[in-house]
Chain A
Amino acid sequence: MANHTDVEQASLGAVDQAGGDVSFDRRNLDWYIDKAVQTLVFIGGISAIIFVIGIFVFVTKEGLGFIYDIFDFGDFFGSPRWRPTSEWKPTYGILALVAGTASVTGLAMVVAIPFSLGAAIYIAEFASGKTRETLKVLVELLAAIPSVVWGFIGLSIMNPLIIELFDVPIGLNVLNAGIILGLMAAPIMTSIAEDALKAVPDRYREAAEAMGATRWQVIYKAVLPAAKNGLLGAVLLGVGRGFGETMAVLMATGHSINIPTSIFDSVRALTATIAAELGETAVGSDHYGSLFTIGIFLFLITFIINLTADLIVRGIRKS
């Protein structure tokens, strides 16, 4: 699409309909508008890149003070002593916090994976028509419940329930947050898992049925193995969600910073720590910087988890 006006002149051999006049080949308003739109939407297009880089840059920037001065890899990741407000000797070990996040997320997955898978199998393979549509809508509504409402439920409903049922002194613990987080992650996992199951071509099912398998056997032997990548992706997405969840975990885990030894222990998660303490810090202080450093850590971890999950899931959706 080069514009060679001299070649243009040279190739003007014949006399065209307009009598040799090329004034109709002018770039008009429409041409310029199209180019302008192209530029504008391109700016929109790169906005995602700008923001991702921006998030990383600004969060790191606020954490730099801490990273240069205090940060020690072994202490930060290896020590369970998170005491940033200690007057005598503040310590910044996040091991207990990581344990908190991991335990709650782990329990959530134990709860959510079987149920999400079961629900996905039911919706994709057993239900049909109106039932299926209704169930999908209900799952979608489940996904819509805001995090803070879940946290409130953990406080007001689950808390007394756990105290009564299990005869423990405190109901804000790993169990509480784990169940809630499980219910929060379940809808996405169900939805992705259902997509993965639906993506398995019918001929797998038909082949199994032709050999005399029952519905369940078809699923167990043919569909599930074929869908395992997508199911794995669903699980990863659920884990990613669990790691990044803030309000529900903040409100339902209690406030003890320790490595849990039972599901009835109170813990503190990484996300909740930031949310609970940021308001108390002075801008630029070590404590402030340490919280931003946790933020960087969270950013990187959830990035890796979500990226892996998406690569796996997208591979499925394409085929």
Chain B
Amino acid sequence: MVSVPAVQGEGRVAPVDAVAQTGSYKLEVRDLTISYDGNTILGGVSFGVREHEIFGIIGPANAGKTSFLKSINRMDMFTSNMRVQGQVLFNGRDVRHWRNVYALRRRIGVVFPLPVGLPLSVYDNVALAPRLAGKNNKADLDIVVERCLARAALWDEVKDRLTSLGSMLSGGQQQRLTIARALSQEPEVLMLDEFSIAVDPVTTMRIEDVLKELKSEMTIILVTNLVQQARRLADRTAFFLGGECVEVGETEDLFTGKVQDSRTTDYVEGRFG
């Protein structure tokens, strides 16, 4: 675990973006602080994500972006030395106050950089989430499976071998399978963490197009190392650096120099990171 020197929390609340405090954020973090074994990885982060927008998060490696995602769907539950402080509000309710954490996670889909094909058939991979939610009708499942695989740009390649093992597909295919699984949850929020690492550029483009369409159905958080990807897709973007959220703003503003912190411009123009 990379230990980031503790960030002074007082007076370092990240600049709040222009549309503030109207209370209609889909997802909102207030003074979120994440630490591992006492080392603060992310300190005092506050911003909101609006419904039906693609929200980008950019920043160099180890800036706490992945930990941030984990704190939202409470996956910190499975990491014993991870400590989350502050508020994470989903639909206005603090996620820590949900009584059924599994119900929370069903509404939030995550795609991590490492492709994971479960050792089930491709069909069962995508049908898993609906089955867990109680959907057992074969006809319904067929529809869901096809739709999700199609959206993940994988349907054509696997439609004739839905019974083959998901864990034996190629890396790129497994990554798209992971995306299909996340979509099968019919989530309210879809979080993607550097999804394009394991996927070739052409397929990445196809998935980016799908994400633009999906925006109307859900809220998307896109963590990415590829700043141009954020520029292409994200409506608003946050810049994480060294354990803090430097700023949040309209993506175009960040890329055209209308920034509140010069480090943002330095980063998007590739001067470091």
> Do any CB atoms of chain A lie under 8 A from CB atoms of chain B in the complex?
yes
Q: A residues bordering B, Cβ < 8 Å?
A: 1-4, 7-8, 11-17, 22, 24-28, 30-31
Chain A hits for B87, CB < 8 A:
11
Q: Tell me the minimal C-beta distance from A32 to chain B in angstroms.
A: 10
Decide yes or no whether B271 CB sits under 8 A from chain A: no
Give every chain A residue within 8 A of B99 (Cβ-Cβ). 3, 25-27
What secondary structure prevails in chain A residues at the interface with B?
Answer: loop
Q: Kindly state whether residue B146 has any CB partner on chain A within 8 Å.
A: no
24 A-B residue pairs with CB within 8 Å = A1-B96, A2-B97, A4-B97, A8-B93, A11-B87, A11-B89, A11-B92, A11-B94, A12-B92, A13-B23, A13-B92, A14-B24, A14-B25, A14-B91, A14-B92, A15-B92, A16-B91, A16-B93, A17-B91, A17-B188, A22-B93, A25-B100, A28-B103, A31-B102
Identity of the chain B residue whose Cβ is nearest the Cβ of A3 in the assembled complex: B99
A213 to chain B, nearest CB (A): 40
Residues from chain A with Cβ under 8 Å of B23 in the complex: 13-14
A38 to chain B, nearest CB (A): 13
B75 vs chain A, min Cβ distance (A): 13
In the bound complex, what is the Cα–Cα distance between A14 and B93 (angstroms)? Answer: 8
For B103, the chain A residues whose CB sits under 8 A away are 24-26, 28
Bound complex: CA A284 to CA B256 (Å): 93
Contact of B100 among A2, A15, A17, A26 (CB under 8 A): A26
> Is the beta-carbon distance between B97 and A7 smaller than 8 angstroms?
yes
Point out the residues of chain B lying under 8 angstroms from A13, CB to CB: 23, 92
| Bound form: Cα–Cα A16–B104 in Å | 13
Kindly list chain B residues whose C-beta atoms are within 8 Å of the C-beta of A30: 102, 132
Complex Cα gap A1–B93 (Å)? 14
Asked if B226 is at the interface (CB within 8 A of a chain A CB), the reply is: no
Chain A nearest CB: distance from B215 CB in Å?
Answer: 15
Residues of chain B contacted by A1 (CB below 8 angstroms): 77, 96, 101
Sort A-B residue pairs by CB-CB distance and give the 10 closest, nearest first: A16-B91, A14-B92, A8-B97, A13-B92, A27-B100, A13-B23, A14-B23, A11-B94, A25-B98, A31-B100
Chain B contributes a number of interface residues (CB within 8 A of A) equal to 21
Cβ A12 vs Cβ B100 within 8 A? no
A34 to B242: give the CA distance in the assembly, Å.
39
Report A-chain residues with C-beta under 8 Å of the C-beta of B77. Answer: 1
CB-defined contacts of A22 to chain B, threshold 8 Å: 93
- A7 interface neighbour in B91, B94, B101, Cβ under 8 Å: B94
- B contact residues around A26 at 8 Å (CB): 99-100, 103
Q: How far is the CB of B135 from chain A (nearest CB, A)?
A: 14
Q: Which of B24, B92, B97 contacts A3 (CB 8 A)?
A: B97
Q: Mark B8-22, 1 if CB is under 8 A from A, else 0.
A: 000000000000000
Q: Which residue of A lies closest to B87 (CB)?
A: A11
Interchain CB contact under 8 A, A28 and B100? yes
A17 to B: closest C-beta gap in Å: 6
Expressed in whole angstroms, the Cα–Cα distance for A25 and B95 within the complex equals 11
Q: Taking A2-B96, A13-B92, A15-B92 as given, write out 9 further A-B residue pairs in contact, using a Cβ cutoff of 8 Å, ordered by the A residue number.
A: A3-B97, A8-B93, A13-B23, A14-B92, A25-B93, A25-B98, A25-B100, A27-B100, A30-B102
In the docked arrangement, what's the CA distance between A286 and B98, Å?
A: 64
Instruction: For the complex, give the distance between the alpha carbons of A73 and B99 in Å.
Output: 61
For B93, the chain A residues whose CB sits under 8 A away are 8, 11-12, 16, 22, 25
Write the nearest CB–CB distance from A174 to chain B, whole angstroms. Answer: 53
B residues in contact with A25, CB < 8 Å: 93, 98-100, 103-104
Closest Cβ of chain B to A123, distance in Å, is 33
| Complex-state Cα separation, A8 to B91, whole angstroms | 12
Q: Which residues of A contact B104 (CB under 8 A)?
A: 25
Shortest Cβ gap from A139 to chain B (Å):
32
- Residue in chain A with minimal CB distance to B90: A16
Determine the chain A residues whose CB is within 8 A of the CB of B91 once the complex forms.
Answer: 14, 16-17
- Complex CA distance for A146 and B232, rounded to whole angstroms: 71
Kindly provide the distance from the CB of A218 to the nearest chain B CB, expressed in whole angstroms.
37
Report the minimal beta-carbon distance from A301 to chain B, rounded to whole angstroms.
Answer: 37
Complex contacts, A12 vs chain B, CB 8 Å: 92-93
Q: List the B side residues contacting A17 at CB < 8 Å.
A: 91, 188
- Residues on B with beta carbons closer than 8 Å to the beta carbon of A27: 99-100
Min CB distance B226 to A, Å, is: 31
Return chain A residues, CB-CB under 8 Å to B132: 30
Chain B contacts for A2, CB-based, 8 A: 96-97
One digit per residue, 1 when the CB lies within 8 angstroms of any chain A CB and 0 when it does not, for chain B 70-91 equals: 0000000100000000010101
Closest CB in chain B relative to A293 CB, distance in Å: 44
Chain B residues with CB under 8 Å of A4's CB are: 97
